Structure 1
Amino acid sequence: MSVATTAEFKVEHVKPKIGSRILNSKQELLSGEFAARIREELEARGVLVFPQINFSDEEQIAFTKTLGEYASENADGSPSKITLDVKENPSSAEYLKGSLYWHIDGTRNEVPILASLLSCKVPIPKGTGNTGFSNTYAAYDDLSDEDKARYENMRVLHAPWASLFYYEAEPSLAKLKIMQSIGEKVLPLVWKHASGRKSLVLGCTCHHVIDVDYSESAQIIHGLREWATSPDFTYSHEWSVGDLVIWDNTGTMHRAEAYDPDCGRMMHRTKLEGEEAWAE
């Protein structure tokens, strides 16, 4: 008589309020057997690390597809190269400068992507070029009841052009117009998800809180970012070759921590299509 065996889902928490490491084998992950568990862990923990899993591009795409609908960024379906090196990434290296500051992807879109998966192909010396993550579900949950009531119905103008001033204090008018052409969108400061959970919608695309004095607006936006990026809610991943990290874009901010654009750092990214529109 044959006996069927079920593999164990191997997970360990990185910090109390953010981050888990998934320790299953490449074969187990590619089988899709743990896809539902991975999705649950991702929403609960914000960011998942698969240490030195060493996916090829084809395997990374296949793994992404086990978790949801693959959001291809390139015509040939290949992962995107993520680097500030203009020789390797001439079309978007300039735009990626905004990735050095806390943000959520897709704030100008009707439906933001569900998640991004980033794999390390070429790291740089340890302690540099990390990627930081902030769990904005947990940051909201730990607000006082008074603050939750204060922010509950606030709305914020998100504009990619606002991020330009984080890395270039005096941009040319031409550059500003190019960034403004990308678009902008008014979003809730507190996203009431279909699941019933709530998260903060923050980051360097925040321009101002609607119908609030600009001085007070700045204090709200920057004060909440400071809160959400405090040690309790953040994790900084130090990359090794072959690491894969996935983060929940609907409840997590992220940023690349500063590094020399000419150092050769190279990541390959895949994405999952969004499944939930911004709450109105």
Structure 2
Amino acid sequence: MSTAIRQLQKHFVGEVSGLDLRKPLTSEQVREIQAAIDRHAVLVFRDQDITDEQQLAFALNFGERENARGGTVTRKEDYRLTSGLNDVSNLGKDGKPLPKDHRTHLFNLGNCLWHSDSSFRAIPAKYSLLSARVVNPKGGNTEFADMRAAYDALDEETKAEIEDLICEHSLMYSRGSLGFVDYSEEEKAMFKPVLQRLVRTHPAHGRKSLYLSSHAGAVVGMSVPEGRLLLRDLTEHATQPEFVYVHKWKLHDLVMWDNRQTIHRVRRYDQSQPRDMRRATVAGTEPTVQQQAAE
């Protein structure tokens, strides 16, 4: 069976059929998927009952695995997964849902805000590949917004205004907006803000896109209130239904997305029930802007 791709939303998102991700890809298949992710920005693969090792092997066709250090408040000795995947579940090491007052649970609620994975790193992530191992019975959809189409829809005056703006990104900004402000000194150092361009140009096709995220909490050269208002206005614009795809998870779905062209968020769900989602993250290769101390 040959590979086929069906577009699911007006601007982006392709549903891929004809591939078994448990098996190694041919060089031709890798090229097809690479071209598809460049074009569609989000790819949906159904019925992929894969292991952690198979998921990571698939991801490594498209770059190196990102070092996960610095993206969580969970202590290493409390990690549930040891395979190299990011744990995007609501589960503790014992496999049970975390208590509602658990620090890791409260921190992870930030995933319900619109964001781009690892924009809080000096070199942000390229691709994310999320596999649904246990689907929550209520809620938990993931929404994606096309940042290319959102940029294209801006008026020329706004495009000129934001073209060269630089933002500060940190996990402390996104979590702080939900009231999570309790950090150790080590965590404060680990989550120190980094600089990112507000407008990015994709290396494969040259389209410009907005680089927005709840991790962005300041715009260089603006007062904090002024910068945050601009970022809020742009996010409201970029997440209109016109630019959004809602993914309703089914067991063994795998969704791959390009963090350089999209933002996403998970919707609220029943935290008393297990939700086991595992993410392979492909590292970016260069910063969006020369890094300086973001004070």
TM-score, normalized by the shorter chain, greater than 0.5: yes
The within-5 A match list for 1:171-182 is: 171=180, 174-175=182-183, 180-181=188-189, 182=191
Report the counterpart of residue 8 of structure 2 in structure 1.
14
Tell whether the 8 Å contact from 2:119 to 2:125 is kept in structure 1 after alignment: no
The code of the aligned residue for 1:97 comes to L
Tell whether the 8 Å contact from 1:21 to 1:48 is kept in structure 2 after alignment: yes
The code of the aligned residue for 1:165 comes to G
Report the counterpart of residue 189 of structure 1 in structure 2.
198
Report the counterpart of residue 111 of structure 2 in structure 1.
99
Tell whether the 8 Å contact from 1:64 to 1:117 is kept in structure 2 after alignment: yes
Report the counterpart of residue 74 of structure 2 in structure 1.
none
Report the counterpart of residue 280 of structure 2 in structure 1.
270
Report the counterpart of residue 91 of structure 2 in structure 1.
85
1: CA distance between counterparts of 2:67 and 2:218? Answer: 32
Specify every segment of 5 or more residues in structure 1 that has no aligned partner in the other structure, as ranges: 1-6
Q: CA deviation at 1:68?
A: 2.6
Q: What CA deviation, in whole Å up to 9, does each residue of 1:242-266 have, x standing for no partner?
A: 1000110122111111112221011
- Secondary structure of the residue aligned to 1:153 is coil
Q: Say yes or no: does 1:160 pair with 2:155.
A: no
1: CA distance between counterparts of 2:153 and 2:84? Answer: 39
2: CA distance between counterparts of 1:255 and 1:186? Answer: 22
Report the counterpart of residue 4 of structure 1 in structure 2.
none
Q: Say yes or no: does 1:136 pair with 2:147.
A: yes
Tell whether the 8 Å contact from 2:136 to 2:270 is kept in structure 1 after alignment: no
Tell whether the 8 Å contact from 2:169 to 2:195 is kept in structure 1 after alignment: yes
Q: CA deviation at 1:76?
A: 5.0
Q: What CA deviation, in whole Å up to 9, does each residue of 1:59-114 have, x standing for no partner?
A: 21222122332336489544233213345478844432211101112223222121
The code of the aligned residue for 1:255 comes to R
Q: What CA deviation, in whole Å up to 9, does each residue of 1:203-239 have, x standing for no partner?
A: 2111122222444323211110011111121111111
- TM-aligned CA distance change 1:249 to 1:52, over 3 Å: same
Considering only aligned residues, what root-mean-square deviation do their CA atoms show, in Å?
2.5
The code of the aligned residue for 2:208 comes to K
Q: Normalized against structure 1, the TM-score is what? A: 0.86
1: CA distance between counterparts of 2:275 and 2:244? Answer: 22
Q: Normalized against structure 2, the TM-score is what? A: 0.82
Specify every segment of 5 or more residues in structure 2 that has no aligned partner in the other structure, as ranges: 69-78, 291-295
Report the counterpart of residue 224 of structure 1 in structure 2.
234
Q: CA deviation at 1:166?
A: 2.9
Q: What CA deviation, in whole Å up to 9, does each residue of 1:23-65 have, x standing for no partner?
A: 1131696323311121121122221100122222232122212
Residue in structure 1 matching 2:37, options 36, 42, 45: 42
2: CA distance between counterparts of 1:194 and 1:153? Answer: 17
The code of the aligned residue for 1:228 comes to A
Count of residue correspondences: 270
Report the counterpart of residue 17 of structure 2 in structure 1.
23
The code of the aligned residue for 1:11 comes to I
Q: What CA deviation, in whole Å up to 9, does each residue of 1:148-175 have, x standing for no partner?
A: 111111121212111123322xx55x43
